[in-house]
Chain A
Amino acid sequence: GAVVSQHPSWVICKSGTSVKIECRSLDFQATTMFWYRQFPKQSLMLMATSNEGSKATYEQGVEKDKFLINHASLTLSTLTVTSAHPEDSSFYICSARRDRGLGGYTFGSGTRLTVV
């Protein structure tokens, strides 16, 4: 149980275009999902917290107009990288909480974004 599906696993896009990444909890409802970014050989950095039915909360330094997050249902959160540039190339990982207060975080398999 507690599976999080992230799609696509990799994507290449041209500069100036937008890319959408989906994160789905397959067998549980996730009122809160998290989006992380990981540069090569570095750690995961929290970008934003996505709450179902409300606006996402962004970490300091993360451009909310560039990284649009939508959490329209209890099983789906999307991250859209708008007007992508080469510096947005990175590995993006989502995570969903299974149970509040029980420390149950499940991670998606990640999306490798390359902007050319």
Chain B
Amino acid sequence: AQTVTQSQPEMSVQEAETVTLSCTYDTSESDYYLFWYKQPPSRQMILVIRQEAYKQQNATENRFSVNFQKAAKSFSLKISDSQLGDAAMYFCAYGAGGGADGLTFGKGTHLIIQP
């Protein structure tokens, strides 16, 4: 079974600074996707960034980028120029490439932005 591990229950960063959230996963599949989702207090799940396992290039979305290390099964999220609106729970998630299965989520990291 696939597992996703987020080892940082909580992280704190100063506004405008950069923070990196860690995620590791375990799978025997070769075709899969990795995701970072943001869950603000409203509890709506918001997709931050997505990475296809077959792509070597790290995904980037504006201030958000990932460091995908496939051999090490590591998928960290870097948030640059942190903003107050970035404060939320961040979940790392794994999805099998076939698409028939739901996502496996890590336990989440609570990100605090200090003004």
Contact = CB atoms under 8 A, between A and B. Distances in A.
B107 A43 contact: yes
Grouping DSSP codes into helix (H, G, I), strand (E, B) and loop, the A interface class, with mixed when no group exceeds half, is strand
B50 A103 contact: yes
B102 interface: yes
Contacts of A36: 102
A95 interface: yes
- Interface range on chain B: under 10, 10 to 19, 20 to 34, or 35 or more? 20 to 34
Contacts of B103: 34, 44, 46, 95, 105
Interface string B92-106: 000101111111111
B105 A43 contact: yes
B107 A107 contact: no
A46 B102 CA distance: 7
- Interface range on chain A: under 10, 10 to 19, 20 to 34, or 35 or more? 20 to 34
Nearest to B4: A43
B30 interface: no
Nearest to B1: A60
A49 B101 contact: yes
Contacts of B52: 103
A44 B103 CA distance: 9
Given A43-B108, A101-B97, A103-B52, A49 B102 contact: yes
Interface string B14-52: 000000000000000000010101000011110100101
A32 B100 contact: yes
Contacts of A42: 107-108
23 contacts: A32-B99, A42-B108, A43-B106, A43-B107, A43-B108, A44-B103, A44-B105, A46-B103, A49-B101, A49-B102, A91-B43, A93-B43, A95-B102, A97-B99, A100-B98, A102-B99, A103-B97, A103-B99, A105-B95, A105-B103, A107-B37, A107-B45, A110-B44
* A-B residue pairs, 4 tightest by C-beta: A103-B33, A107-B45, A34-B102, A46-B102
Interface of B: 33, 35, 37, 42-45, 47, 50, 52, 91, 95, 97-108
